Structure 1
Amino acid sequence: MTRGPTLPAHRLPCLPRPLDAFNAAAGDEARALLLTCMRSRRWARRMADHRPYPDLDALLAAADEAAYDLPPADLSEALAGESFPELPYGTYFAAHTALSAAHAAYEARFGHAFVIYLGDVHPDEAIDRILEGIRSRLANDPEEERVTAADELRRLAKGRLTAFLSGARPPKPAASPRGAAGRDAPVRRA
């Protein structure tokens, strides 16, 4: 018995990869996404202007380089756009109180929010890591802490970029600077 003609194979639509979509996005759209990763307009503009990136590694290398080159005013802008890391759901009130007090002491000493990358930390260990980080970094002199905070900002930005461009949900926006209208959502784990 002979068979009739076969139907062509069903093909799923080819969806753009997140990096391809980022590379093809309009400049304003790319900068807006980048500002959710690090709240520095200079950094976002530089990253958007140097597109296209051939792969995630190239993008992350460029993110590092652009962040290392931030002048003090732009680093201050980025730090002002951050807020205290969000605590895991179910955190005890006593932990909130202890962390709030430690963060207030940190902010009084250094003039900006405490930033820390928690992407490689199990959620159950986040509170301990944050408290340990604040306590140890309170001993830093202001310049040493500025270098440490800048390094943590770079790690946060890379973690947020990686999460988004690996197909995860869009990064949570960094908080807007104090007093400014707009998003004031707490920073989430990258």
Structure 2
Amino acid sequence: MRLPFPRSGADHGRPATPHTGPARGASSPLHRFNAAAPAAARNMLLACCGSRRWAHRLAVHRPYPDTDALLAAADEAGYDMTHADLTEALTAESAYHPPTDGPGALAATTALRAGHAAYADRFGHAFIVHLDDFRPEERLDQALAGIRARLTNDADEERAVAAEELRQLARARLARLLTAPRAGATRP
């Protein structure tokens, strides 16, 4: 099912005008995103997902009436990524490097780094996984378990899993961008 994109005035030959929707102040992160220059908006989006086509698609369909509309558009753009878009986005990702404190963290981190190397050698890109649903102290173990399990996937199956993980990561990063006091994302 395709979700309709909100159309900006630019789609009809008029300049786009920022719209923040009800209960949004002029300084809200969504308003700043909607009002940002096209290049600045694309850069914000590229911090969430490394596909230029994904970022361009979301940037040109501004303004978004609310965060849910933007997140829905991000999901749709994620599902519509071509093989080349996904390759570009996965190439832009870097390996997860968890904190190395606590008992056993050094051994687990060493195992995770070895897993990352094996994964990159097998699939040609960094292992990515969405870990926001786990407590910080569980993330290292979850990443290690995930990489071990996914190393058994064939290339097509893993590409589908990586695409879904990327979509979830992009959505979470975008949500953080829109809740930050100032619009400017950093990757977790």
Match of 2:142 in 1: 129
Match of 2:95 in 1: 84
Structure holding more helix per residue: 2
1:168 is displaced (CA, Å) by: 5.2
1:88 is displaced (CA, Å) by: 2.3
User: Unpaired segments of 5 or more residues in structure 2?
Assistant: 1-24
SS of equivalent residue, structure 2 residue 140: helix
1: CA distance between counterparts of 2:64 and 2:26?
Answer: 18
Post-superposition Cα deviations, 1:116-166, rounded to whole Å, max 9, x if no partner, equal: 011111010011100111011111110010010000011001101111102
Task: Confirm or deny: 8 A CA contact 2:100 2:106 kept in the other structure.
Answer: no
- The amino acid of 2:113's aligned partner reads S
Stretch moving more, 55-64 or 80-89: 80-89
RMSD, aligned α-carbons: 1.4
Task: Tell which structure's C-alpha radius of gyration is larger.
Answer: 1
Match of 1:157 in 2: 170
Work out the number of aligned pairs and report it: 161
Task: Confirm or deny: 8 A CA contact 2:50 2:88 kept in the other structure.
Answer: yes
Task: Confirm or deny: 8 A CA contact 1:88 1:126 kept in the other structure.
Answer: no
2: CA distance between counterparts of 1:168 and 1:20?
Answer: 12
* TM-score between the two structures when normalised by the length of structure 2: 0.81
1:89 is displaced (CA, Å) by: 4.8
Counterpart mapping for 1:17-166 below 5 A:
17-90=28-101, 92-166=105-179
- The amino acid of 2:50's aligned partner reads R
Runs of 4+ in 1 over 6 A off after TM superposition: none
- The amino acid of 2:46's aligned partner reads L
2: CA distance between counterparts of 1:104 and 1:137?
Answer: 13
* TM-score between the two structures when normalised by the length of structure 1: 0.81
